[in-house]
Amino acid sequence: MNTNSTQKSGKTLIVVLGMHRSGTSVVARAMGALGGKFGERLMQPVAGVNDKGFFEDVDVNAINVELLKAAGSDWYSMMPIDLDCIDASLLDCLQTKAVTVLRDKCADNDTFVLKDPRLTRLVSFWRPVFACLSLRVVYVVAVRSPISVAKSLARVHHFAEEKSYILWLTHVVAALEETKDHERIFVDYDLLMDAPARELSRVSEATGLQQRAEALAEFEQEFLEHRLRNSRFSADDLDVVRLAPQQVKTVFSAMQRAAAEEIDAYSSELDAAAKDGRRYLESIEPLLRYEWRLVQHVEKVTPALTEANARTKGLEVALRDSEAHAASEIAKREETQRYANDLEAQLRDSEAHSASEIAKREGSQRYANDLKAHSEHLSVGLEQLKEEHESVISALEALQSKVASQEAALRRADHYIAEVFSSTSWRITAPLRALRRMGSWRNR
């Protein structure tokens, strides 16, 4: 085992290794209680993924991402990462860049914490970088149940359970292989959550890094929350998981025992488990390469599929809008039809009313004609009556004239009679007139 006794700078680099979603962020943050610093360019927290933060340096992360891309791989690829396939000039450029970046970050820090799960499979690239800086390197390997990791990956990245177990194995086997001859310590995520002071004290004793009470209190009180842990499983729980290869249980069991100090951090049990895991991974390497080609193909067609889905959704939206518009038009048409029917009914009523009015008008006209005829008839009768009146008036005037004449004659007769009666001769002849009247009465 190399304990970095040749270091010249007096600086310590704590390198946190482990599978994604295995508690590496919590372990990295815990190293702050041992004097570890993280630099100022850290990846921002993501709600629902890492609410408290990743504690990953963005510059180191960028180098790892570029390195994996140059090797035709990515963090979620299960196939082996072959750095030898990278162009030598590019590899030199990336390694030189890594030296510059890390030197700047460690310049003002005696203890610097380097964490990125991608580092777990890229230690062979970074080890020469560490050597150039003459740093004391302490590898802290995060240990967490593969079941918990698989559940977290399914929730965050929607990975199949089988893929998560193999991916976990590729990371931890690489961590065991790359650190077996270097200073390392295993930290169980669940034990750290249960008793942070005890676990950090153990790390402090094993590494010589001094534990800081104030930093520990801050870590316990402000950072740790039990809600960060969604599940907890032991090695025995893997017995009922059919989708996990036996090598997963073997490796996890050995790592968990090392974290609990049941075995030494450099135990042959760990070495044997790592070798068994490596043999298994090599035996299924063709399948892993095939899976990666499928993944790359899916990623290649995904933009087109996404675009097609977007177009489909757009068409669906357009169809819904069209259907809504059609329904609206139908409703308008029905409303228009109802309005037309109402107008037609009103027209029929109006026509009926008009016919009634016409009939009334014709009846009024006939009545007016009758009145006119009757008026004309009355006028004729009136003229006749007028003529008769005038005739009657004329006759009456004639009669009045005659009456007046007769009255005048009568007055004259009365005067004459009066004169007669008043005369002497009338009185003398009275007996004779009486006899004459008597004779006339008898002759009747």
Residue 12 has pLDDT above 60, yes or no: yes
Residue 266 has pLDDT above 50, yes or no: yes
Task: Determine the average pLDDT of the residues in 247-255.
Answer: 96
Task: Determine the average pLDDT of the residues in 328-353.
Answer: 80
The more confident residue out of 270 and 356 is 270
Residue 21 has pLDDT above 60, yes or no: yes
pLDDT tens track for 415-424:
776 776 666 6
Query: Residue 87: beta bridge partners?
Result: none
Q: Helix, strand, or coil here: 64?
A: helix
Task: Determine the average pLDDT of the residues in 305-326.
Answer: 86
Confidence of residue 248 (pLDDT cuts 50, 70, 90): very high
Residue 426 has pLDDT above 60, yes or no: no
Question: What is the percentage of the chain residues whose pLDDT exceeds 70?
Answer: 85
pLDDT for position 225: 63
Task: Determine the average pLDDT of the residues in 359-370.
Answer: 75
pLDDT for position 82: 94
Q: Which of 47-56, 114-123, 312-321 has the lowest mean pLDDT?
A: 47-56
Confidence of residue 60 (pLDDT cuts 50, 70, 90): very high
Tell me the CATH architecture of domain 12-283: 3-Layer(aba) Sandwich (3.40)
The more confident residue out of 419 and 123 is 123
Task: Determine the average pLDDT of the residues in 161-174.
Answer: 97
Q: Maximum distance among all alpha carbons in the chain?
A: 213
Residue 6 has pLDDT above 50, yes or no: no
Task: Give CA separation, 68 vs 49, 176, 185, 324, in Å.
Answer: 22, 20, 26, 50
Confidence of residue 441 (pLDDT cuts 50, 70, 90): very low
Token output for 198: 């005890």
Cα 338 from chain centre:
37
pLDDT for position 443: 54
- How far is Cα 244 from Cα 252, in angstroms, rounded to an integer? 11
Catalogue the long-range contacts made by 411-415 (C-beta closer than 8 Å, 24 or more residues apart): none
Residue 173 has pLDDT above 90, yes or no: yes
- How far is Cα 32 from Cα 38, in angstroms, rounded to an integer? 8
Task: Determine the average pLDDT of the residues in 311-340.
Answer: 84
Task: Determine the average pLDDT of the residues in 243-267.
Answer: 95
Q: Which of 40-44, 94-98, 211-215, 381-385 has the lowest mean pLDDT?
A: 381-385
- Strands 136-143, 184-188: parallel, antiparallel or unpaired by DSSP? parallel
- How far is Cα 55 from Cα 41, in angstroms, rounded to an integer? 9
pLDDT for position 115: 92
pLDDT for position 444: 54
pLDDT for position 229: 54
pLDDT for position 390: 77
Task: Determine the average pLDDT of the residues in 300-304.
Answer: 91
Residue 243 has pLDDT above 60, yes or no: yes
Residue 73 has pLDDT above 70, yes or no: yes
Confidence of residue 5 (pLDDT cuts 50, 70, 90): very low
- How far is Cα 411 from Cα 139, in angstroms, rounded to an integer? 178
